[in-house]
Chains A and B, each alone.
Chain A
Amino acid sequence: MAGELSGILEHVDRIDELELDDVPPTSHVVELENVLRPDAPRPSWPREVVLEQAPDPADGAFRVPSPQAD
């Protein structure tokens, strides 16, 4: 995969031909003002429903291997 990634980056490097110093970046194309919604409480998903999708639920939580295995 290293060769493929290098090939793609070489192509991307063609951007260097362009004079971009004074160009502002675009992260979002549609001009939006702050979008707000009423700060009203809404019900959350029941815990048991959410945990149904978990690979390893235990005691009402998501169980994972210890962060510090021996």
Chain B
Amino acid sequence: MGGLLKLSVAEATKRIAAREVGAAEYFEAWREAAAGDELNAYLWRAEEGEGGGEGPLGGIPVAVKDLFCTEGVETTAGSRILEGHRPLYTANAVWRLAAAGAEVLGKTNMDEFAMGSSNENSAYGPVRNPWDRERVPGGSSGGSAAAVGGGLAPCAIGTDTGGSVRQPASLCGIVGLKPTYGAISRYGMIAFASSLDQCGPLTRDVTDAALLLGALQGRDPCDSTSVGIEGGVKAPAREDLSGLRFAVPAELAHDAIEPGVRAVFEATLKRIEELGGEIAEVPLPHAEHGISAYYVIAPAEASSNLARYDGVRYGMRVESEGDVVEMYESTRAAGFGDEVKRRIMLGTYALSSGYYEAYYGRAQKVRTKIAGDFAAAFERFDFVVTPTSPSVAFGLGEKTDDPLAMYMNDFFTVPMSLAGIPAISIPAGLAEPDRGGPRLPVGFQLAAPAFAEQKLLDAAYALEQAIGFDAKPGEGADG
């Protein structure tokens, strides 16, 4: 059984299609692995598998973030307010995976309504990092990242609004891809910030990320903003980076980055040059304002999206002695956690009469400036590269008392979300945390122009092969 779990998704699909491995046997091996979850990565696990179907993902079990609706299977978004909720329909992303032959292995834990960078905002308890259980896995797709990084799933999907696929992938030592806004349908993905939310795969390597993206992408009549990726997605094959130009934001030199993370980042830049890639600095002067703009735009959209949870049609209701408005209030007071309440208040404030232009209006203008910075960079460069996260995984509880410090985890991932462009995080090495301790994974982020996913995956693949990251949780100290 152990041998089966080591197969990449790409290898497993080939063996299953050639009938060298039985789909039912493969699913059962992963179901048993998932049953041993000590990380609190799963909120629900399949009790039995049917072995999936035929297709490019034939027989592959997938862990699905609990933000995706699954017909008849509890879908909570990590919130108390949706405890016990069984959706009437399945999200398009999950439906597409099934149509490609995959089968849902389980639903993964997450920050409530995808709001958080540590998974500590889940109503169902924090997820633990497979590399060090006293540390966070990142968020908000922390359960999906920990499941894949911890050997509890061969691959997973999550959602990325400001870094929620890339940052946990970085902290758990795996690959995380945020596609271009519009590449994958958002239908059935519980909404957080609709102009930013995008589904993305979390996998053990770049080839598997491409395989999942190929199945997930596409136009969907139920999401008018979905356009798919023209020409689809092929397995990445590039071996070198010659002729490609990589931009490092000039401002990075002054940014607060852990020394260990900076060292891995710089070693990776050298690796790019060894592969024939060219590196130069480029100014991205507005990127530093990304956090400010994001923490206006995302809460504003969230405050509107979350108004639907009122205890009337589905989900939790807390009865009160008073009228219907009091029932709404008591339901929301009990059903939402602190971070969700914080963002609803920020969002309603930013949208309120008299403050709208000062906050929401100006934040949308900053968004234009950030997108403009990237557009200017891509006139001369193929990619923009940064560390994915300013630090390695931090300790549980370390940042829960300081929301702004928590938001800064998204410093390098938010600008790409605001610009709607694709970005991937690949594991680039290990680094010692600032305060000492066993070495932990460091992610390297590459961003490309809108819908240039194939080029992004090809370059990430070449770099991944050269880096040869093969450390596993539990052997980090000497790996």
Using CB atoms and an 8 Å cutoff, list the residues of chain A in contact with chain B. 1, 4-5, 7-9, 11-16, 18, 20, 23-30, 32, 35, 37, 45, 49-50, 53-56, 62, 64-69
Determine the distance from Cα of A7 to Cα of B403 in the docked complex, in whole angstroms.
9
* Contact (A5, B346) CB under 8 Å given A24-B365, A29-B195, A53-B86: yes
B225 within 8 A of A: yes
Q: Are A50 and B180 in contact (CB under 8 A)?
A: no
Q: Are A14 and B289 in contact (CB under 8 A)?
A: yes
Determine the distance from Cα of A7 to Cα of B311 in the docked complex, in whole angstroms.
32
Q: Are B323 and A69 in contact (CB under 8 A)?
A: yes
Contact with A along B337-362 (1 / 0, CB 8 A): 01001100110010000000001011
The residue that B342 contacts in the complex, of A5, A11, A28, with Cβ under 8 A, is: A5
Q: Are B296 and A30 in contact (CB under 8 A)?
A: no
Q: Are A29 and B345 in contact (CB under 8 A)?
A: no
Q: Are A65 and B327 in contact (CB under 8 A)?
A: yes
Contact with A along B178-202 (1 / 0, CB 8 A): 0011100000000000010000000
Which A residues are in CB contact (< 8 Å) with B316?
A: 55
* Contact (A15, B371) CB under 8 Å given A28-B225, A30-B182, A64-B324: no
Q: Are A12 and B371 in contact (CB under 8 A)?
A: no
Q: Are A27 and B314 in contact (CB under 8 A)?
A: no
Which B residues are in CB contact (< 8 Å) with A53?
A: 85-86, 88, 313-315
Contact with A along B286-305 (1 / 0, CB 8 A): 10010111011000000000
Using CB atoms and an 8 Å cutoff, list the residues of chain B in contact with chain A. 85-86, 88, 180-182, 195, 221, 224-225, 227, 286, 289, 291-293, 295-296, 311-317, 319-327, 338, 341-342, 345-346, 349, 359, 361-369, 371, 403-404, 407, 418-420, 450
Which A residues are in CB contact (< 8 Å) with B323?
A: 65-69
Q: Are A8 and B404 in contact (CB under 8 A)?
A: yes
Determine the distance from Cα of A9 to Cα of B358 in the docked complex, in whole angstroms.
11
Determine the distance from Cα of A53 to Cα of B316 in the docked complex, in whole angstroms.
10
Tell which of B315, B323, B341 has the most Cβ of chain A within 10 Å: B323
Q: How far is the CB of B477 from chain A (nearest CB, A)?
A: 36
* Contact (A12, B295) CB under 8 Å given A26-B368, A66-B324: yes
Q: Are A25 and B368 in contact (CB under 8 A)?
A: yes
Q: Are A15 and B420 in contact (CB under 8 A)?
A: no
Which A residues are in CB contact (< 8 Å) with B312?
A: 54-55, 62, 64
Task: List 8 A–B pairs whose Cβ atoms lie within 8 Å, in order of A's numbering.
Answer: A5-B345, A15-B292, A15-B293, A29-B420, A49-B88, A65-B320, A65-B323, A66-B323
Determine the distance from Cα of A26 to Cα of B370 in the docked complex, in whole angstroms.
10
